[in-house]
Amino acid sequence: MWDYTKYYFAPMVQILAILGFYWGGHYTWIAIGAFPAIAILDALLPLDQAERKMKSHFWAYLPVWMATLLLPVMYFVFAWSVGNNDLTGLQMAAGVMGLAWLSVVPGVPATHELYHSRGRLARFVGRYGQVAFLDCMRMEVHVVGHHRDVGTAEDIDTAARGVNLYRFVARSVAESVRWELRLTPITSRSAVTVATRFATRSGVHCWPSRYSRLCDLCAGWLDSRGVVLDLDGDCSLLGRGFQLLPAFRPGARGRRADREATRLEPLRTLSRLYAFEITNHADHHLNSYIPYYKLVPDREAIIMPSIIVCFLSGFVPSLWYNAIIKPALKRWDNEYASPAERRLAREQNREAGWKDWFDDEDGRAKQPDAPSFAHG
């Protein structure tokens, strides 16, 4: 029973944030205040590499559905709070940042879990739940593109070595649009068919209408439509930017023949619960239909710091490179990578201007000395 119960941590954080928005005043800080609180707790708690013993799909998925459906509720209640509570500018800013953060985690992992489901309703809710963080294209692009090309040069969701957060976000957004246009091209002869396709399938063409409907609903809670459009847009854009952090998949990207992705996983206690096992990711790429609670932790993976530590460090490229990702990738290259992967890694290190940490002709170091995150 405990394995089921602890995944309610994510929707409980959302409910506390909603209550804070409803109460107004300084309670508006609850949403963004959860950010450092979870980070500190996650860093202090021990690693969690245990397999889950969950048999009931219904009870395991109930918190996932709750986290997804609570996404728009958070926006509606915050819109109501702006219109009915006397919030200061600082309190509104705290609400915007809190909504952006909660849209990403647990919002992104929850919708991700649903649109990977075999159920038609789950996929529908997973796709449209992403309206909150302006990413209606994620389902098709992720499932068709990322899962096919993971870890290769064609993968738009994996950052190459030396590509920082800001360059990665710009490329990923542009490539997502290009991918979506390829997946749902305008090739129909009938204008009616084209219009239907725009309305029901293509994220590129119909996400503005989906987003405007969310704004219209939020505006119903306010006297000023301009205010809610501005606040809702700020939250969604921040969420969209935060979502694209290349925190867990930077590695030796290469040709399709080298499909193995670098296994760097933050198997921390709260990271696993709060993100519905999205940090326990290697098994997911072997079979994307496996539900989150059946994923087997990779005990041979290089253990990363807390998901939030990785999240924050991505905004400071020098910190991300020197303190977190270079030591982890150096250890991967020296201890786990195949000869082909080591050659790709050496080539990318050279292109990125990174130190060549290999000794042998095939790129393998004899005595790796990279620090391990497994106990820190």
- 133-175 per-position pLDDT tens digit: 766 667 777 887 788 887 777 887 788 888 888 888 788 778 8
Instruction: Compute the distance between CA of residue 5 and CA of residue 60 in angstroms, rounded to an integer.
Output: 9
Instruction: Compute the distance between CA of residue 278 and CA of residue 285 in angstroms, rounded to an integer.
Output: 11
- Reported pTM: 0.78
Q: What is the pLDDT of residue 242?
A: 45
Sign of the torsion angle spanned by Cα atoms 204, 205, 210, 213: positive
Q: What is the pLDDT of residue 217?
A: 58
Q: What is the pLDDT of residue 68?
A: 95
Residues 6 or more apart whose Cβ sits within 8 Å of residue 285: 147, 150, 261
Distance from chain centroid for Cα 301: 19
CB-CB contact of 275 with 346 (8 Å): no
CA contacts within 13 A on the Cβ side of 150: 18
Residues 6 or more apart whose Cβ sits within 8 Å of residue 184: 140, 197, 201, 202, 203, 204, 205
- Three-state SS annotation for 156-209: CCCCECCCCHHHHHHHHHHHHHHHHHHHCCCCCCCHHHHHHHHHHCCHHHHHHH
Q: How many CB atoms lie within 10 A of CB 225?
A: 13
Q: What is the pLDDT of residue 292?
A: 94
Q: What is the pLDDT of residue 43?
A: 86
Q: What is the pLDDT of residue 375?
A: 39
Report the mean per-residue pLDDT for the chain.
Answer: 77
Q: What is the pLDDT of residue 202?
A: 47
Q: What is the pLDDT of residue 10?
A: 96
Local structure of 371: helix, strand or coil: coil
Q: What is the pLDDT of residue 248?
A: 41
Residue 36: is the preceding peptide bond cis (ω within 30°)? no
Q: What is the pLDDT of residue 199?
A: 39
Q: What residue ranges in 186-314 does DSSP mark as E strands? A: 264-265, 302-303
Q: Residue 71 has which token pair? A: 């996404």
Can you list the alpha helix ranges (DSSP code H) found in 116-152? 120-128, 138-140, 147-149
What percentage of residues in the chain have a pLDDT greater than 70?
Answer: 73
Q: Residue 322 has which token pair? A: 């020197």
Q: What is the pLDDT of residue 179?
A: 77
Q: What is the pLDDT of residue 55?
A: 93
Q: What is the pLDDT of residues 251-276, one digit of tens each?
A: 444 433 333 445 677 778 898 999 99
Phi, psi torsion values for 47, nearest 5 degrees: -60, 150
User: What parts of the chain have a pLDDT lower than 70?
Assistant: 134-137, 184-263, 359-376
Q: What is the pLDDT of residue 360?
A: 55
Q: Residue 124 has which token pair? A: 């529908």
